[in-house]
Amino acid sequence: MPSAARAVWRLGRPALVLLLAALAVGVPLWLVAVTSAKPQAEAVRPNLDLPRRWQPAGNYEDALGQGEMLRGFLNSLLVVVPSVVLVLVLGAGAAWVFARRESRLVSAAYALCISGLLLPPAVITVVMELRQLGLAGTRPGMIAVYTGMYLSTSIFFMTGFIRAVPPELEEAARMDGAKPLRIFLRIVLPLLRPVIATATIMVTLYAWSDVFYAFFVLGGGERSTLPLNLYKVAGAQLYLNNWHLVFAYVVVMSLPMVAIFLVAQRSIVSGITSGAVK
């Protein structure tokens, strides 16, 4: 590369990155932040101006009250946490068997279990089935649907990861007399840490944001999760024009995900490297 071009690139690249980040991510986030601090009269026509009168506390309080945010938060936690735990634990067990054993039956079971990566969940008949099982509109029903849906993701990532781990580590423990359960808990699970981080992020993200399946399974009412509440708040938007509340809600709903990402960020990339791109 000629040195002039290299110099342009060295200065131009960071400038381009800054510009892209400001336009593509900065502007939308700015809109959310300023609108969530405006009084209703200013927020009716959403724009990028700073609020003339700041009332963030009032807006967030209203979102808490009218949007039933605390209950939504609790409801979300009560379905998302068990789903994620089940997806990880059941997924890891299955991935271990799928990665280490070789037979027609095993590869058939593996293919079946990761088919959920491609196939769309049959949401209408899931509702039918849950009704027959007495699980429609309940948290266990929602957890079962999320677990069934996202198991494929975790099994796929974890199987890829375990295949890359040398089996000698397990052999050594086996020689010391460890049984499968012990090997799984003491050797396999700790090794899986980076890919567990990836799967946790992905599944938490999907389940935390989901409104489609929650709508069919939980409906509205007592057990509605944060996204369902947001949908309701924004639905009322049509005649109330309360962008300020919608965006206060958006901020609060997004913060837990940002926090989880910041904590687990480092291991995500390594998990993706070994899981998806092998």
Site for another protein in 182-211 (CB under 8 A): 182-184, 205, 208-209, 211
Site for another protein in 69-128 (CB under 8 A): 86, 90-91, 93-94, 96-98, 100-103, 109, 112-113, 116-126, 128
Q: What is the DSSP string of 117-153?
A: GTSPP-HHHHHHHHHHHT-TTSHHHHHHHHHHHHHHH
In the complex, what is the shortest distance from the CB of residue 36 to another protein, in angstroms, rounded to a whole number?
11
Cα–Cα distance between 3 and 156 in angstroms, integer? Answer: 45
Q: To the nearest whole angstrom, how small is the minimum distance from the Cβ of residue 174 to another protein?
A: 7
Question: How many of the chain's residues bind another protein (CB under 8 A)?
Answer: 96
Between 78 and 106, CB nearer to another protein: 106
Closest of 157, 153, 160 to residue 87, by C-alpha = 153
Instruction: Report whether 246 contacts 234 (CB < 8 A).
Output: yes
Q: Return the number of the residue (55 or 231) whose C-beta is nearest another protein.
A: 231
Residue with Cβ nearer another protein (12 or 65):
12
Whole-angstrom distance, CA of residue 156 vs CA of residue 133? 29
| Footprint (CB under 8 A) of another protein, residues 127-186 | 128-129, 144-145, 147-149, 151-152, 155, 170, 174-180, 182-184
The smaller minimum CB distance to another protein, of residues 70 and 122, is found at 122
When asked if residue 45 is in the footprint of another protein (CB under 8 A), the reply is: yes
Should residue 35 be labelled a site residue for another protein when binding is judged by CB under 8 A?
yes
Q: How far is the CB of 66 from another protein (least distance, A)?
A: 16
57/118 with CB nearer another protein: 118
Distance between CA atoms of 127 and 218, rounded to whole angstroms?
10
Q: Is 25 in the site for another protein (CB under 8 A)?
A: yes
Question: How open is the CA angle 54-55-57, to the nearest 5 degrees?
Answer: 135
CA-based end-to-end distance of the chain = 32
CB of 153 to another protein, least distance (A): 10
Angle between helices 69-100 and 193-209 (to 10 degrees): 140
Cα dihedral: 264, 266, 270, 276 (round 10): 50
